[in-house]
């Protein structure tokens, strides 16, 4: 996150924190795969208000396991995203065995770990360091309400107010997050369509990233 200096007191500094897992499945439900090549900075800029300034976008996700084509697509997307100034924070998937209550059979599954903790920590750190005036959370995970409550307590001690705005990915909503946020709104399909990366992303270091054909 860039240093959140505030030369103009009339401008709100906004940090955007994206729950990649939540957003991914919202995009899949909305348009299958065609919306996955999403420009997160462009998306963030489209949902800011005129009196707001974007100070950074952080994207929290986990590395895919045991699916080489999907891993390759994710690596290309994350590299393209980072090349445009988005900070990518990686958690991990942990293998779990789940037993069926009816038949007793077990199956292997994977649960995302650490991403929500990292996201919560990033929000709290930026508020504590006076980097942001507005926390914009892109998620519908009610587990993040605990971080919002911690921000409220921090604000009480500091004697100032940090606004928390929750942006719900397509098809997702949380009543608890709605109640705990200062404002909320759904991420609209028009913003998503208008915020797609170009088919070929050319980074400043000369690297070139192509939209995966599977996502067309």
pLDDT one-digit tens code per residue, 155-179: 999 999 999 999 999 999 999 999 9
> Could you list the residue range(s) of the whole structural domain that residue 180 is in?
19-215
What distance in Å separates the CA atoms of residue 132 and residue 11, rounded to the nearest whole number? 11
Question: Is residue 113 scored above 70 in pLDDT?
Answer: no
Confidence of residue 109 (pLDDT cuts 50, 70, 90): very low
> pLDDT by residue (tens digit) across 96-105?
444 556 666 5
Residue 41 in domain: yes
Residue 152 in domain: yes
Residue 31 neighbours by CB distance under 10 Å = 14
Q: Token match 């404002």: residue?
A: 183
Task: Compute the average pLDDT of residues 121-133.
Answer: 96
Residue 112 in domain: yes
Residue 126 in domain: yes
The reply to whether the predicted model has a pTM over 0.85 is yes
pLDDT the model gives residue 115: 83
> pLDDT by residue (tens digit) across 190-210?
999 999 999 999 999 999 999
CATH code, domain carrying 66: 3.40.50.1010
What distance in Å separates the CA atoms of residue 136 and residue 134, rounded to the nearest whole number? 6
Give the total number of structural domains in the chain: 1
More confidently predicted of 187 and 102: 187
pLDDT the model gives residue 96: 46
Residue 10 in domain: no
Residue 11 in domain: no
Cβ-contact 80, 88 below 8 angstroms:
no
Residue 204 in domain: yes
pLDDT the model gives residue 135: 98
Confidence of residue 3 (pLDDT cuts 50, 70, 90): very low
Cβ-contact 78, 88 below 8 angstroms:
yes
The CA dihedral of 37, 174, 46, 39, to the nearest 10 degrees, is -20
> pLDDT by residue (tens digit) across 33-87?
999 999 999 999 999 999 999 999 999 999 988 899 999 999 999 999 999 999 9
Confidence of residue 106 (pLDDT cuts 50, 70, 90): low
Residue 14 in domain: no
pLDDT the model gives residue 147: 97
């Amino acid at each position: 996150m860039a240093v959140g200096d505030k030369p103009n007191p009339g401008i709100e500094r906004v940090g955007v924190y994206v729950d990649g897992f939540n957003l991914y499945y919202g995009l899949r439900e909305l348009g299958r795969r065609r919306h996955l090549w999403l420009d997160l900075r462009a998306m963030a800029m489209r949902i800011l208000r005129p009196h707001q300034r974007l100070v950074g976008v952080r994207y929290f996700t986990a590395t895919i396991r045991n699916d080489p084509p999907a891993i390759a697509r994710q690596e290309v997307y994350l590299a393209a995203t980072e090349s445009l100034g988005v900070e990518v924070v990686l958690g991990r998937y942990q293998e779990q065995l789940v037993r069926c209550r009816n038949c007793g059979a077990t199956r292997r599954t994977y649960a995302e770990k650490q991403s929500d903790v990292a996201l919560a920590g990033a929000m709290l750190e930026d508020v504590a360091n006076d980097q942001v005036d507005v926390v914009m959370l892109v998620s519908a995970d009610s587990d993040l309400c605990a971080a919002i409550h911690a921000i409220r307590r921090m604000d009480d001690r500091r004697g100032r107010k940090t606004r928390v705005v929750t942006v719900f990915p397509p098809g997702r909503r949380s009543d608890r997050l709605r109640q705990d946020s200062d404002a909320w709104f759904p991420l609209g399909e028009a913003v998503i369509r208008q915020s797609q990366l170009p088919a070929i992303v050319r980074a400043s270091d000369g690297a070139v990233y192509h939209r995966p054909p599977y996502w067309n």
